[in-house]
Amino acid sequence: MNQTNATNQKTVLVGVTDIFFYTKVRDALMSKGYRIERARTQQDIAEKASATIPSAIILNMNDETLNAFQALETLKADPRVKTIPILAFANHEEVDTFNRAKALGVTKIVSRNEFSARLKDLVGEVAGNHA
């Protein structure tokens, strides 16, 4: 029997607007059995997080279209979704971005290179914390 009101252990909400990068993330995670929900705006992230209660959220902190910082603030203010683990990535040289993301409650933030290289493991790490 499927529990729809519980956290969906195999859904990942991906906040990435770059279609090529999103496709790479989607293909990698789908090969591990995850269901992918894509968000293109901060409003999208809040609505889809509330609707699907994913097992993890991925955010590109450098995506200006997405406004990831505002999305983080919105997520953390919503009691229904504030405990969902968030895996974020940013350009490695942006120390302020890393610090600000951590202060806003990101579960884990890594460089874009590490994210690309270790995507499946990183999602497993953060999603596993939510089980």
pLDDT in tens, the chain (131 residues): 333 444 556 899 999 999 999 999 999 999 989 999 999 988 899 999 999 999 999 999 998 888 899 999 999 999 999 999 999 999 999 999 999 999 999 999 999 999 999 999 999 999 875 54
User: pTM of the full predicted structure?
Assistant: 0.89
Can you tell me the distance from the alpha carbon of 73 to that of 44, in angstroms, rounded to the nearest whole number?
A: 14
User: Which residue, among 73, 129, 63, has the nearest Cα to 101 in the 3D structure?
Assistant: 73
Instruction: Write the CATH number of the domain with boundaries 10-128.
Output: 3.40.50.2300
CB 109 within 8 A of CB 102: yes
State how far the Cα of 109 lies from the Cα of 12, in Å rounded to an integer: 16
Residue 32 per-residue DSSP state: T
Residues in the chain: 131
In the chain, domain spans: 10-128
